[in-house]
Amino acid sequence: MKDEITRDERIDNLKGMGCSRKRVEDARFTQGKGNYVDDVKLDGMLFGDFVRSPYAHARITNIDSAAALEVPGVLAVLTAKDLEPLGLHWMPTLAGDKQMVLADGKVLFQGQEVAFVVAEDRYAAADGIEAVEVDYEELPVIVDPFESLKSDVILREDTVDENGRPTDGAHGPRNHPNHIFTWEAGDKAPTEEVLANAEIVAEESMYYHRTHPCPLETCGCVASMDKVNGKLTLWGTFQAPHAIRTIVSLISGIEEHNIRVISPDIGGGFGNKVGAYPGYVCSVVASIVTGKPVKWIEDRMDNLMTTAFARDYWMKGKISATKEGKITGLHCHVTADHGGFDACADPTKFPAGFMNICTGSYDIPTAYLAVDGVYTNKAPGGVSYRCSFRVTEAVYFIERMIEVLAIKLNMDAAELRRINFIKKEQFPYKAALGWEYDSGDYHTAWDKALKTVDYEGLRAEQAQRVEDFKAGKTRKLMGIGLSFFTEIVGAGPVKNCDILGLGMFDSCEIRIHPTGSAIARLGTISQGQGHATTFAQILASEIGLPADSITIEEGDTDTAPYGLGTYGSRSTPVAGAATAMAGRKIRAKAQMIAAYLLEVHDNDVEFDVDRFVVKGAPERFKTMKEVAFAAYNQAIPGIEPGLEAVSYYDPPNMTYPFGAYVCVMDIDVDTGVPDIRRFYALDDCGTRINPMIIEGQVHGGLTEALAVALGQEIAYDDMGNCKTGTLMDFFLPTAWEVPNYETDYTVTPSPHHPIGAKGVGESPHVGGVPCFSNAVQDAFRAFGNTHTNMPHDHWRIWKTANELGLHD
């Protein structure tokens, strides 16, 4: 046979790894043809919605549903009393705590679910909600975690013994009724000793405010119990459909094979859709009770005020160094506000997530971290909003501590970073707080970033600006924000990562069809990341069939292999690895078939792009397409028919993407308005599968970083009223507020990942937040600022300027 096209053309035709292949999902998304959970419409479907508490802390003395049941279209009103006989009035959280499904005698946060009104449609449900009468007896409200730990108001009576003393929690002893856990990493005494004897110690307290992932599509589900065959089908906005199936089975007693969970298209998750919510439980119960499908969809206020917030960490740091700036020790204490229930979505053994990555990209020999979780009268959650578990908090902490130390040392913050980076030859690097970083080349990335933005030129310009400001020639200051981050993603090795006992492996199952096309199913679920595009590219390169001939399917637990879902940038590191490994199994079998067809020994053929060639005789080959056909139509001795494979991948380690970001900002001192002039983002996510998708992820992650740094918060007043429950006050930037991002990269593959990829979806958020924040803070450095808390909205920036005496 003669080749009509070149080898390079054959590679291009596959649209495999490295190709900026257009997203196959976009044809439907851009035409409004997506299929989201609210698009699921079933015969006779009912709608359920919640009566929610207007109070942040109150006892419920009575719930009267009589008038609601009179409202036309209202069929039922469920309360905790109805769920109690089923044992479903409380449910377990992912963090080992439990949470009320419906208020069991009291409420602990504003917006808490009190009763579930089931009606013929959502309009009748809304009217029914208005008609339910609930008698509340207000209780003292605690919105401050420090006050909570001193208060004699017990928020959770279910967590104390008869003497009011705290019982042990899921993570050990508790020292106060409102205390949830203490979690430690590193060495306390040695760290304290290093700090006590250090030449230089910088200290800072910082509050990483509460915010919210706010996906475009809110949370929701449709539960449909088929009483004839005993099967429950549950469609929902689930970032982890298999885990949801197992949890539903465990808490409802329905056997797992009788439950089918389907995540259809999901309109963004960012961590908000990892947990289990009362709406899911109530919909399932309502479907069982009524025998009809029941839909529950949050509105925007429900979403912002009740499902899964992020952050809310009060962090106290101490960092020590030599006079030359070599860091010798790091101490961090966190008071973590978890709200009324501990519903964090972290691997079970990590109640503060991977906060212990807080030594960052630096070679810090000694460190200690302690985190105290606290109950308050705020909504539960504590999810990882576009980051691996608490990594945004960790990176913000260290990138602020570096800046604070630079100020103390009167040193350039870029140089301080450079002299403390872990060196290329130190990888794999064992960090003081326990992690083993897989690979990195920080100096190269940093130098490239600083050179591209002309860092020295920027500093010179900034110095001139300060002079001009002092001379009254301008009212604008210039800030240069730096950040260098190391993430920890791809949870994770089953030996230390599980959620409720489910190991955090992931999976891929591939079926090759006779005509040389394929379907692959994974245990993950895309929420906009473009899995159908990128996973097909991995496979295309691994098995030599064009990506366009490979369907990727996720989200249906009846068809997809078991996996732990998509969050914490784990899809590529874990399921992507499973995909490559399953592809290699396909290739191994295909090689035997090809050898048989070519009448040579298995070892005498080798894989080349899209075919197996006889070694030394490249004109003799069988394409993968031909092999696929042979797998189904030839009786090959010793080989089963068909061409399928499945892989469950237990990663040997996490992956550690990193990056170098620079932001240049002009700040109007009089109005507090920042203007982002430039943003440069260099990401190293190891092997790059689809550069266009990476760039899209970086743009999105940076925009969410800008939001969080510059204004996005969930704020409460003293009475526990949420002040930011609508998009009028909860800051979602539009194209108008967003600067032009410059993206760049280096490539340092992960040594333990089959294709060397590390994951990128969350890096820009993790690195972006400190970068924007550092830019604001840096603008005021010349005037004595060391630290101010985010969010840097107009009035807080103005306040900084005001307190520094910059207004006349």
Partner 1 sequence: MIPAAFEYYRPKDIEGVLAILEQHGDDARVMAGGHSLIPMMKLRMADVPHLIDLQDVGGLSGIEVTGDSIRLGALVTQAQIIDSAELTRAAPILREAALQIADPQVRYMGTIGGNVANGDPGNDMPGLMQCLDASFSLIGPDGAREVAARDFYEAAYMTDREDDEVLTAVTLPLPQGGYAYEKQKRKIGDYATAAAAVQITGQGGTCTSASIAMTNLSDTPIFSEDAGEALVGTTVDDAAIKAAMAAMLGDIDPTEDNRGPVAFKKHVAGVILRRAITRAWSRA
Q: Could you list the active site residues?
A: 239, 386-387, 762
Q: Identify the CA nearest to 88 among candidates 280, 223, 255.
A: 280
Q: Output 186 or 711, the one with its CB closest to partner 1.
A: 711
Indicate whether 666 belongs to the interface with partner 1 (CB under 8 A): no
Sign of the torsion angle spanned by Cα atoms 125, 126, 127, 131: positive
Binding-residue total with partner 1 (CB under 8 A): 30
Indicate whether 724 belongs to the interface with partner 1 (CB under 8 A): yes
CB-CB contact of 288 with 233 (8 Å):
no
- Nearest approach, Cβ of residue 297 and partner 1 (Å): 11
- Nearest approach, Cβ of residue 783 and partner 1 (Å): 17
- Nearest approach, Cβ of residue 376 and partner 1 (Å): 20
Indicate whether 6 belongs to the interface with partner 1 (CB under 8 A): no
Strands 611-614 and 605-608 turn out to be: antiparallel
- Which of 715, 782, 804, 806 is the binder for partner 1 (CB under 8 A)? 715
- Which of 164, 671, 675, 719 is the binder for partner 1 (CB under 8 A)? 671
Residues 6+ apart with CB under 8 A from 184: 368, 369, 370, 371
C-alpha to C-alpha distances, 48 to 22, 55, 223, 225, 254, nearest whole angstrom? 39, 22, 11, 15, 21
- Nearest approach, Cβ of residue 194 and partner 1 (Å): 42
- Nearest approach, Cβ of residue 121 and partner 1 (Å): 10
Which residue in this structure is represented by tokens 């994974």?
522
Indicate whether 346 belongs to the interface with partner 1 (CB under 8 A): no
Indicate whether 296 belongs to the interface with partner 1 (CB under 8 A): no
Cα 269 from Cα 18, distance rounded (Å): 26
Cα 683 from Cα 695, distance rounded (Å): 10
Q: Output 249 or 802, the one with its CB closest to partner 1.
A: 802
- Nearest approach, Cβ of residue 126 and partner 1 (Å): 4
- Which of 15, 57, 122, 378 is the binder for partner 1 (CB under 8 A)? 122
Indicate whether 411 belongs to the interface with partner 1 (CB under 8 A): no
- Nearest approach, Cβ of residue 128 and partner 1 (Å): 11
- Which of 182, 496, 789, 802 is the binder for partner 1 (CB under 8 A)? 802
Q: List the beta bridge partners of residue 369.
A: 185, 332
Q: What is the three-class DSSP state of 314?
A: strand
Token duo for residue 216? 């475009």
Sign of the torsion angle spanned by Cα atoms 22, 25, 27, 29: negative
Indicate whether 111 belongs to the interface with partner 1 (CB under 8 A): no
From the list 390-398, 679-687, 695-703, 721-729, the region that binds partner 1 by CB under 8 A is 721-729
Q: Identify the CA nearest to 113 among candidates 279, 289, 301.
A: 279
Contacts to partner 1 from residues 683-712, by CB under 8 A: 711
Q: Output 493 or 672, the one with its CB closest to partner 1.
A: 672
C-alpha to C-alpha distances, 613 to 17, 77, 263, 598, nearest whole angstrom? 21, 68, 42, 9
Token duo for residue 430? 């064992």
- Nearest approach, Cβ of residue 146 and partner 1 (Å): 23
Which residue in this structure is represented by tokens 């009320």?
100
Indicate whether 301 belongs to the interface with partner 1 (CB under 8 A): yes
- The widest CA-to-CA distance across the chain, in whole angstroms, is 91
- Which amino acid appears at position 680 of this protein? Y
Cα 524 from Cα 538, distance rounded (Å): 15
- Which of 723, 742, 747, 784 is the binder for partner 1 (CB under 8 A)? 723
Q: Output 215 or 264, the one with its CB closest to partner 1.
A: 215
Indicate whether 45 belongs to the interface with partner 1 (CB under 8 A): no
- Nearest approach, Cβ of residue 335 and partner 1 (Å): 25
Indicate whether 807 belongs to the interface with partner 1 (CB under 8 A): yes
Indicate whether 216 belongs to the interface with partner 1 (CB under 8 A): no
Q: Output 86 or 806, the one with its CB closest to partner 1.
A: 806
- Which of 163, 229, 410, 734 is the binder for partner 1 (CB under 8 A)? 734
Q: Output 118 or 243, the one with its CB closest to partner 1.
A: 118
DSSP 543-554: H-S-GGGEEEEE
Contacts to partner 1 from residues 779-798, by CB under 8 A: 793-795, 798
Token duo for residue 641? 């028919």
Indicate whether 799 belongs to the interface with partner 1 (CB under 8 A): yes
- Nearest approach, Cβ of residue 795 and partner 1 (Å): 3
Indicate whether 716 belongs to the interface with partner 1 (CB under 8 A): no
CB-CB contact of 478 with 465 (8 Å):
yes
Q: List the beta bridge partners of residue 421.
A: 362
DSSP for residue 571: I
From the list 5-13, 404-412, 526-534, 666-674, the region that binds partner 1 by CB under 8 A is 666-674
- Nearest approach, Cβ of residue 75 and partner 1 (Å): 17
Q: Output 189 or 728, the one with its CB closest to partner 1.
A: 728
Indicate whether 603 belongs to the interface with partner 1 (CB under 8 A): no
Helix axes 577-598, 531-543, angle to 10 degrees: 30
Indicate whether 300 belongs to the interface with partner 1 (CB under 8 A): yes
Indicate whether 656 belongs to the interface with partner 1 (CB under 8 A): no
Indicate whether 733 belongs to the interface with partner 1 (CB under 8 A): yes
Phi-psi region of 182 (alpha: psi -120 to 50; beta: other; left: phi over 0): beta
Contacts to partner 1 from residues 423-442, by CB under 8 A: none
CB-CB contact of 757 with 689 (8 Å):
yes
From the list 311-319, 445-453, 481-489, 726-734, the region that binds partner 1 by CB under 8 A is 726-734
From the list 459-467, 503-511, 539-547, 724-732, the region that binds partner 1 by CB under 8 A is 724-732
C-alpha to C-alpha distances, 638 to 598, 610, 628, nearest whole angstrom? 16, 24, 17
Q: Output 33 or 799, the one with its CB closest to partner 1.
A: 799
Q: Can you give the three-state secondary structure of 751-787, one letter per residue? A: CCCCCCECCCCCHHHHHHHHHHHHHHHHHCHHHCCCC
Measured CA angle at 283 (ends 305, 279), to 5 deg? 15
- Which of 86, 126, 250, 411 is the binder for partner 1 (CB under 8 A)? 126
Indicate whether 205 belongs to the interface with partner 1 (CB under 8 A): no
Q: Output 147 or 717, the one with its CB closest to partner 1.
A: 717
Cα 735 from Cα 750, distance rounded (Å): 34
Q: Output 374 or 706, the one with its CB closest to partner 1.
A: 706
- Nearest approach, Cβ of residue 46 and partner 1 (Å): 15
Token duo for residue 337? 């506000």
Contacts to partner 1 from residues 129-158, by CB under 8 A: 130
Indicate whether 740 belongs to the interface with partner 1 (CB under 8 A): no
CB-CB contact of 445 with 658 (8 Å):
yes
- Which of 154, 160, 639, 673 is the binder for partner 1 (CB under 8 A)? 673
Burial class (CB within 10 angstroms; exposed 0-12, middle 13-18, buried 19+) of 349: exposed
Indicate whether 650 belongs to the interface with partner 1 (CB under 8 A): no
Indicate whether 280 belongs to the interface with partner 1 (CB under 8 A): no
Cα 658 from Cα 308, distance rounded (Å): 27
C-alpha to C-alpha distances, 211 to 53, 107, 417, nearest whole angstrom? 21, 22, 28
- Which of 626, 729, 744, 803 is the binder for partner 1 (CB under 8 A)? 729
From the list 92-100, 269-277, 576-584, 731-739, the region that binds partner 1 by CB under 8 A is 731-739
- Strands of the sheet containing 74-78, edge to edge, are 74-78, 113-119, 46-52, 294-297, 220-226, 231-236, 259-262
Sign of the torsion angle spanned by Cα atoms 729, 731, 734, 737: positive
The site for partner 1 (CB under 8 A) is made up of 122-123, 126-127, 130, 299-301, 670-673, 711, 715, 723-724, 728-729, 731, 733-734, 736-737, 793-795, 798-799, 802, 807
